[in-house]
């Protein structure tokens, strides 16, 4: 069997097992949705048909792409900031019980606060600019990684640590050569969660006060009772979140292939 035929066969298997079921489900839902809207003459402002949403989406595609890019930029920067701080915090928790007992309750407290309650404060402190949205995205993305990374860094086999110490390995060498590789499955699991949460955080920040972004589009379309545009903005936000999530999955697969990990995803 040639390499081309093997490639074609793999594509068919991937389509039938991975893509076909969700695509079939989506088509079925859209058909039922369209039928209900036309059969019962549902008002457009209340529940628009998929065809109307489709037309609205592509009619406003340029502005939606611009606003989506703004939201994803805010989410990406907030995501990076949150993960840098989370990794540093997790390393500190791993090496200092006092630090963990002192700061971990506050990390839980931050997670327990509804993000919608923090957003007005960020607008009050930082105005309607982009920094407040980045900070909101960072706050909502912080907790998953700091928890998962701490567990991953601590879940190293004690015998492996004793072996490295017997070989005169420093704490830094143990951290980068043992603890971090062991924590990668936990880290990537948290990154996939945080990637979608960061988009949510950016949108929440924009809905509280902004001049552009998907959250701003959602807010203005709600005020104008432009439900088709509201659905279009939601779809654009969902596509952005999926692309962000997919980027993390690609990076995870690259790390798996490069370092020989069979499964690089663990949740706690």
pLDDT digits (tens, 9 = 90+) for 64-116: 999 999 999 999 999 999 999 999 999 998 888 888 888 888 877 777 777 77
8 Å CB contact between 262 and 80: no
pLDDT for 81-94, tens place per residue?
Answer: 999 999 999 999 88
8 Å CB contact between 68 and 51: no
Residue 1 has pLDDT above 60, yes or no: no
Compute φ and ψ for 93, nearest 5 degrees: -65, -35
8 Å CB contact between 149 and 87: yes
> What torsion do the CA atoms of 259, 262, 264, 265 make, to the nearest 10 degrees?
180
Instruction: Quote the distance between the C-alpha of residue 128 and its chain's center.
Output: 23
Name the pTM for this structure.
Answer: 0.83
What are the domain boundaries of the chain? 1-41, 48-259
pLDDT for 8-58, tens place per residue?
Answer: 555 555 555 666 777 788 888 989 999 999 888 888 888 899 999 999 999
Give dist(CA 214, CA 179) in Å, integer: 39
Question: What is the DSSP annotation of 25-77?
Answer: HHHHHHHHHHHHHHHTT--TTTS--HHHHHHHHHHTHHHHHHHHHHHHHHHHH
pLDDT of residue 10: 52
Tally of CB atoms within 10 A around 83: 23
pLDDT of residue 42: 87
pLDDT for 119-172, tens place per residue?
Answer: 888 888 887 888 889 999 998 888 888 988 888 888 888 888 888 888 878 888
Instruction: Report helix, strand or coil for 98.
Output: helix
Q: In CATH, what is the architecture of 48-259?
A: Orthogonal Bundle (1.10)
């Amino acid at each position: 069997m040639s390499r081309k035929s093997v490639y074609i066969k793999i594509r068919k298997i991937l389509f039938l097992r991975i893509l076909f079921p969700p695509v079939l489900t989506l088509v079925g839902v859209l058909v039922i949705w369209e039928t209900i809207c036309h059969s019962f003459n549902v008002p457009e402002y209340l529940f628009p048909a998929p065809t109307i949403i489709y037309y609205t989406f592509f009619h406003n595609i340029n502005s939606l792409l611009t606003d989506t890019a703004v939201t994803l930029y805010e989410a990406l920067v907030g995501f990076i900031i949150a993960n840098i701080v989370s990794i540093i915090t997790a390393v500190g928790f791993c090496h200092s019980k006092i630090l963990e007992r002192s700061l971990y309750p506050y990390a839980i407290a931050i997670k327990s606060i509804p993000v919608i309650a923090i957003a007005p404060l960020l607008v009050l402190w930082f105005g309607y600019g982009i920094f407040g949205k980045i900070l909101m995205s960072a706050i909502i993305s912080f907790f998953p990684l700091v928890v998962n990374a701490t567990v991953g860094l601590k879940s190293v086999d004690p015998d492996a640590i004793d072996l490295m110490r017997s070989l005169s390995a420093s704490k830094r060498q143990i951290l980068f050569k043992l603890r971090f590789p062991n924590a990668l499955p936990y880290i990537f699991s948290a990154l996939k969660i945080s990637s979608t949460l960061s988009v949510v955080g950016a949108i929440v920040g924009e809905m509280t006060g902004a001049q552009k972004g998907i959250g701003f589009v959602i807010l203005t379309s709600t005020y104008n009772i432009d439900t088709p545009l509201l659905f279009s903005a939601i779809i654009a936000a969902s596509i952005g979140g999926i692309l962000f999530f997919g980027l993390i999955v690609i990076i995870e697969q690259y790390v798996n292939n490069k370092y020989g990990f069979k499964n690089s995803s663990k949740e706690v």
